Every structure is written in C-alpha cells, then in structure tokens.
Structure 1
Amino acid sequence: MRTTPHRREWRGNPLRRRSDRVETWVGLVLVAGAAVGAPAVGWGVGDAVHTSLLHTAQQERAERHRVAAVLLEDAPGVSSPADPETADSGVNAPPVLVRWTGRDGVERTARVQVGAGLVAGDTTAVWVDRGGRVALPPLSRAQAEAYGIVAGIGGAGAAGGLLLALRWAVHLRFERQRLDAWEQEWRRVGPDWGKRPT
C-alpha cells in the first residue's frame, strides 16, 4: 500500500525535526482542548451566572413590590393623552412627579420615568422597596437566562482564545529555537559553502 505524503509526515519524515513533531503534538492537544474545553468552560460560567442571578432576582422580588402611582404632571412633550398600555417605556424621558400610598398608609411622592403619552391624573406602576423608596424592577427569569447565555459565550470565547493564543506562543517559541539552531549551523558551515575541494 502506498503511503500518502500526509501519512508519511506523521510516520517519520526524515526532514521533520524532533521540535517539529513536539510542536505538532502540543498544537493538537491545545486545539483539542480549545474545541472541548472552551464549551465546557462556557457552560460552567453561564450556568453559574444564571444560578446567581436567579437567586438575586428571588431576593429582589421578596424586597420590592409594585404600587399604583398617579402622575401629578404631564410627561414632557405630551400634548394629548395616550393609552398607557401602548405607551413607550419612557426609558430616555425626563422623570415626572408621581404620588402613591405605601403599605404603611403614608402618602409618598417621587420623580420617576414613565411611558410616553401619559398626562397628569393617569396611573402608572412604580416599583418600591420595603422602605417605600422607588426601586428598579426585580430581575426577570428571562433577563437572568440572557445574562447567563452572554456570560457563557464570553467564557467559552475567552477560554478558546487563551488556548489558541498559547498554541501560537508555542509555535513562536519553537520557531525561535529552530532559527537559532539554523543560524548556529550556518556559522559552522557557511564559510566553506560553495568552495571547491582542492
């Protein structure tokens, strides 16, 4: 059976130096590690972040609740009322003054961002903490999953990138050694190169 050039390269090509073989095997191990290890790292990181955020979301839900608040002024730039159910989130809108009654029966006011199209007298939902202060909405399960996925992808990418960078560093190290060896050999035989025996 005839051996293909590729198989000869692995079996013992006389032109392949020991450093070539070592570099090839180290490279294969690192590439295999990137292919198998990077997804495993990504899965672990993503799962850890997701679990941690689910715990955080559970704590936030226990510490915060929604109240119905009445707008005391129109949302900026609004000239006519709109359906609060279809209004924009108002994330970039300036905050407006709202009023609500806390669980303790105390009436409170604060400036919050509301959906576009709301006018004075409309009702909006506001998240507050146990002390009655305005708070951000608790983290949702969907957000925890999304952050976990992003963290997992980032972890896998970082692990894979690190192993591939290590593979490149190994290649450069072996290449430097080969060039040094070649230079030493050339210093030994170079002066006699091309001379005819007498």
Structure 2
Amino acid sequence: MTTGSVNMYRRTCRRVGLDRNPMRRREDRVQTMVAAALALVFLILVPLLVMSVGARVYRTETAVVQAKTAQLHQVDATVTETGKAPLYAPIMPAKVQWKDADGVVHTDDYQSTTVVSPGQSVTVWLNGANKIVEPPSSTQALSKAVLLTSGALFGAMLLVVGCYFTLRRSLDRRRLRMWEMEWATADLRWGSHS
C-alpha cells in the first residue's frame, strides 16, 4: 500500500467513525454500528424483495396475460375506410372487414396505431363474440413486476432510513444531555478555582 492509499483509508475510517478516537462517545459508536447494520439489512432485503415480490408478480401477471390471450384469436382484416386521426392521440380510426370460419363477413371499428389506407390488410384480435379488442400486452407482466418491486424497495428504504433517523434523534438527545451535564460539571470545577 502506498502512503496516499493509507491516508485515504484512515480518512475514510475517521469519517465513518471507525477510528479509535478517544473523543468518540459510546453513542457515536452505537450510531455507526446501527447505520452499518441497517445498510447491511437493506442490502440483504433488496435481492429478497426482488426475488419474492418481483418474481411472484411477474409469474402471476404472465399467467393472466396468457389466460386472456387464450380467449382471443387473431384474424387478418381489410381496411374499408379510414377516419381522420386526432392531433392529440397517435390513433387512426378505421373500419375493417373480415370473414369468420363460417364465411360470415363482419365489419367493425378499429383503432390503428399506424397510418392505414383503404384496402390495406391489418391483423386484429377478436374475443369470443367476434368483437375487436386490444391485443394482449407483451410488457404488462414486466411493468407491474418492476412497479411493485420498486414500491416494495422504496418502502423498505423508508423503513430503514426512518429507523436510522429515529435512533439518531434519540442518541442526539442523549448526547445533548451528556454535553450539558459535562458543561455543568466543568463550570463547577472551573468556577471553584476563582
């Protein structure tokens, strides 16, 4: 180790309260040790929350999407007419037409997320009643898993930080009482020498 790295190591230890400074009180050491323990707890909680909450939500939402997808089917439809796309939404209204397995022609409104023109073929999703529905989401499971896992991590972080600041406030009060007591003792000693 070089002298610079030794000095940096000592400075870091002193800043986090891990040096052998005789001026550090017991409360200072308790605060440092509790902060380290809470950081370790949080670092252990992160993978546990991700694996338990995130994985469970992802599996559940994937099963929901698969169940919805099983109730739907795709058909190729032909655009018969288009409407004017509103400026505020990236959707182009259109009417589409398709034939079912029995050869019956169906016509329904369709909201395209791309520009379509009459005569163009588009793939639409239908429910059991042959009505056009939104296609199953390929990102729903991951989105919900990330959202709920982030919420759980944020809650765990708030809990850990709240515990630390509650302890710190309690220790600060105790340090203040000790500081006042030491000043009173010093005042008695110094005042008696006059």
TM-score (norm 1): 0.70
Match of 1:179 in 2: 176
Separation of aligned partners in 2, 1:183 and 1:100? 86
Note if contact 2:125-2:133 (Cα within 8 Å) is conserved in structure 1: yes
Deviations 1:159-189 (A, max 9, x none): 3453234323322331132223323554x44
After TM superposition, what 4+ stretches of structure 1 lie above 6 angstroms from structure 2?
Answer: none
Q: Aligned residues, how many?
A: 179
Q: Which has the higher contact order (CA 8 A, sep 6+)?
A: 1
Q: Please list every run of 5 or more consecutive structure 1 residues that lacks an aligned counterpart in the other structure.
A: 78-90
Candidates 105, 110, 113, aligned match of 1:112: 110
- Of the structure 1 ranges 45-54 and 174-183, higher mean CA displacement relative to structure 2 is found in 174-183
Separation of aligned partners in 2, 1:112 and 1:73? 10
- Of the structure 1 ranges 40-49 and 99-108, higher mean CA displacement relative to structure 2 is found in 99-108
Separation of aligned partners in 1, 2:98 and 2:92? 19
Separation of aligned partners in 1, 2:158 and 2:101? 52
One-letter amino acid matched to 1:173: S
Separation of aligned partners in 2, 1:106 and 1:193? 105
Matched, 1:96 2:94: yes
Note if contact 2:31-2:167 (Cα within 8 Å) is conserved in structure 1: yes
Note if contact 1:42-1:152 (Cα within 8 Å) is conserved in structure 2: yes
Separation of aligned partners in 1, 2:36 and 2:73? 55
One-letter amino acid matched to 2:81: E
- Of the structure 1 ranges 100-109 and 174-183, higher mean CA displacement relative to structure 2 is found in 100-109
Matched, 1:39 2:47: yes
- Of the structure 1 ranges 51-60 and 128-137, higher mean CA displacement relative to structure 2 is found in 128-137
Match of 2:76 in 1: 68
Note if contact 2:92-2:116 (Cα within 8 Å) is conserved in structure 1: no
Residue identity over aligned pairs, in percent, reads 27
Q: CA deviation at 1:58?
A: 1.3
Match of 1:197 in 2: 193
One-letter amino acid matched to 1:30: L
Note if contact 2:80-2:118 (Cα within 8 Å) is conserved in structure 1: yes
TM-score (norm 2): 0.71
Q: Please list every run of 5 or more consecutive structure 2 residues that lacks an aligned counterpart in the other structure.
A: 1-9
Candidates 136, 139, 145, aligned match of 2:137: 139
Separation of aligned partners in 2, 1:21 and 1:150? 37
Partner SS state of residue 127, structure 1: strand
Note if contact 2:75-2:124 (Cα within 8 Å) is conserved in structure 1: yes
Separation of aligned partners in 2, 1:172 and 1:105? 76
Candidates 122, 128, 133, aligned match of 1:124: 122
